[in-house]
Chain A
């Protein structure tokens, strides 16, 4: 199906495109940088709307910890600007282009629409937690404002935050405002080697349940020697003290190596991008969220059935898992669900993504509400229809 392609330059143009499409009941695929286009269910839309023309930071007040940017602004542009003032997006967004073998420039609209957060999510919350306001165009072609530019705001329902992770099915984001944080003065990573998954998760749980503010905890199970990594951030004196106490309290897990700022940065970038499980490129990749204490058992149960590669982040709350395309794909979701978690299919051939819901199927009562919510924002059902679930 050949789709017509439009490239609005501002939110007024977005609104008018959506209004026209709604009148004609033509479906729209929203494209930011196109770097995560393969996420979710494949779309066959009549129109593609490329929002990369809505670009630019519209407000940055370092002393107020707030930044606003149009949705098509390259993520890199925002992070570079923040870095100049020693600040950052708290949730450490990762670059999934290596994993997805995609090109294109990731945008902040795509980042919010997918609500994918990196390693520091463990400590400071997700992308959705950092959103303090947004503007979007709903499926009726109306420009809607929610939230604002201040940190605390309970005026009206928090519908802007609900745009996060909605994969563009409720509205076309045009501008987003985030709470930002100062970058830490110093960083230290403690790396424990050779632990089993069970021991690694126990170590990470103990570390995050300590008073020593671990800002990331991951276990790289693949490679010659498994590595369990704990990150500390802050002032030098504080890090030295906290590292000392952690090493002492966790002595039963061995003596860790210490990585200072530069190698730490590279390591956590690789963890965020899930580098250790990217190869082979034809393997299916899942992102599982579990209560941390149950993640190792989940992986063990799957290992009994198939060969899997795994990477644990968020102290075990997030498991990246890959397996050969021929393996029993349904087993992964069944096992995650049984352990109180859920599974998102991140990388798979188009045929598999059409056959198997990329997102965890929902309970009937919630599914019914989801259809109603879609209708409340997009009554004609034209925005990224079916990207998340059939019918929404």
Chain B
């Protein structure tokens, strides 16, 4: 019904389901092998909820050694494996298949060691992103990449997707904040990449593993770079009558030599949705709004915000609200932080994630408006403007099959537009199944072939999170007929 095809399950694997389950129960305590249909149900999808597949079984290992035993068993049996963190992927990255076993790392959720002197934290991969920062914040430290989903999403998922967040303009994304990982290979070998030092000798395995979307192995531990927080942070809110002016203002702030920790953009639809929900005091009569946050001591923040206010006025900002207190800061952020929830309240939505050169912002926003109108839908734009990572939320009604298809079509056109103007399909959510079939828009066959050659080093039989990232026609083994 929906557009993205998934392979047919392998009948030979389905036929030996009992044997696979028995094998898992020999390797982890039976209570952590989930087989009943109603208990498997929560694992049938992730945050791309339009797609659901009930997995053959779910296993929740309690140690790296158990993960190793599970992987060597399943790979010997030729069973597909879906690594899973919290299942908040927006690209279908954690979507199971009927003939696959989900390996969830949720029980591996401990902080193993924190070293404030060397500014590192070693954690098990199933810990949530926010739990890391919560653990170290009493000492004034934090872990920088902060996806909006940080309350739920795991470090494992962040590593697999190379996740970003609102503060990555200054602090970078996951790949810039990981010093080491412990990963289990398909054959059960446990390898350590990186460690506690700044750089690693030999090949840069972390570059490859981070962003590999669960297709290289199962990450069970990670060593994170932790940072001392600045003394404070405060935002200002800027309102513009013209979308172009907001775009120009972003460029002007950066060109003037300031890297704010965050520059968030909201269009009028997004402002209205968030204001209705959060009553944050947002201006309803502007075409676009920016939230710009800077860090430092109070005196520094004053200097920076004064400078930003000046640049904003020069670039046509009609409304400038500079936060003077923690309460005012919270109010400014409240609407933005509830954007996804508030939107979900009024409609179903597809969250796009393309990135564009920021100079193309006005053109791309105009085109997005046209594309969505053409498909008789509405869009709300909320995104990280400093780095050009767009999140158009395409609003639709999931009970209307035709609307879903139109929404997916509009989404594809928007992503193609991003590539056309020199950007990319996904800035932080990953390819998963959602953007799989668009990969040939961004890459040539030899580019994809080179990526696949790297994948085959880790997973020659396409057992790890298969049917994702690469278009199905590039999978070398018969994965079954597309359904």
Contact = CB atoms under 8 A, between A and B. Distances in A.
Contact of A164 (B204, B359, B426, B469): B204
Interface of B: 115-120, 140, 161-162, 164, 168-169, 172-173, 175-176, 185, 189-193, 195-205, 207-208, 210-212, 228-231, 251-252, 254-255, 257-259, 296-297, 299-300, 303-304, 355-359, 384, 386-389, 422-431, 435, 439, 442-444, 446-451, 453-457, 469
A340 B210 CA distance: 22
B143 to A, nearest CB: 15
A154 B428 contact: yes
A152 B255 contact: no
Nearest to B256: A182
A238 B355 contact: no
A182 B197 CA distance: 27
Given A164-B204, A373-B457, A289 B198 contact: yes
A183 B257 contact: yes
Contact of B199 (A115, A143, A161, A185): A115
A369 B251 contact: no
Interface stretch (A93-101, A189-197, A290-298, A347-355): A290-298
A134 to B, nearest CB: 11
A115 B5 CA distance: 41
A161 B210 CA distance: 11
Nearest to A214: B228
Contact of B357 (A150, A161, A360, A375): A150
Interface string A349-387: 000000000011011011001101101110000000000
Given A63-B358, A125-B172, A237-B303, A376 B454 contact: yes
Nearest to A124: B172
A373 B454 contact: yes
Contact of A125 (B169, B176, B431): B176
25 contacts: A61-B357, A142-B449, A143-B446, A148-B422, A149-B422, A150-B423, A151-B388, A152-B427, A154-B428, A154-B431, A157-B211, A158-B208, A162-B207, A164-B204, A209-B228, A235-B304, A289-B198, A291-B196, A293-B117, A344-B201, A359-B201, A363-B192, A366-B193, A376-B457, A388-B202
A182 B299 CA distance: 21
Contacts of B257: 86, 182-183, 185
Given A129-B176, A151-B387, A161 B453 contact: no
Given A63-B358, A181-B259, A340-B195, A159 B201 contact: no
Contacts of A121: 198
B317 to A, nearest CB: 17
B112 to A, nearest CB: 15
Interface string A259-296: 00000000000000000000000000000011111000
Contacts of B422: 148-150
Contacts of A242: 297, 300
Contacts of B430: 154
B191 A363 contact: yes
Contact of A290 (B197, B212, B251, B423): B197
Nearest to B204: A162
A235 B189 contact: no
Given A292-B118, A369-B191, A150 B387 contact: yes
Given A148-B423, A162-B203, 19 more contacts: A62-B255, A64-B254, A64-B357, A122-B198, A126-B199, A145-B444, A149-B422, A150-B356, A151-B387, A152-B388, A153-B424, A154-B428, A155-B439, A156-B443, A158-B175, A205-B117, A344-B201, A360-B202, A377-B453
A166 interface: yes
Interface of A: 61-66, 86, 115, 117, 121-122, 125-126, 128-129, 138, 142-146, 148-159, 161-162, 164-166, 170, 181-183, 185, 205, 208-211, 213, 234-235, 237-238, 241-242, 245, 289-293, 314, 317-318, 340-342, 344, 359-360, 362-363, 365-366, 369-370, 372-373, 375-377, 388-389
A63 B359 contact: yes
B300 A237 contact: yes
A44 to B, nearest CB: 22
Contact of A291 (B120, B230, B303): B120
Nearest to B448: A156
Nearest to B358: A64
A131 B314 CA distance: 33
B197 A340 contact: yes
B211 A158 contact: yes
Please indicate which of the listed interface residues A63, A121, A290 has the most CB atoms of chain B within 10 Å of its own CB: A63
Interface centre among A182, A245, A375 (most CB of B within 10 A): A182
Contacts of B211: 154, 157-158
B454 A211 contact: no
A13 to B, nearest CB: 17
A318 B197 CA distance: 9
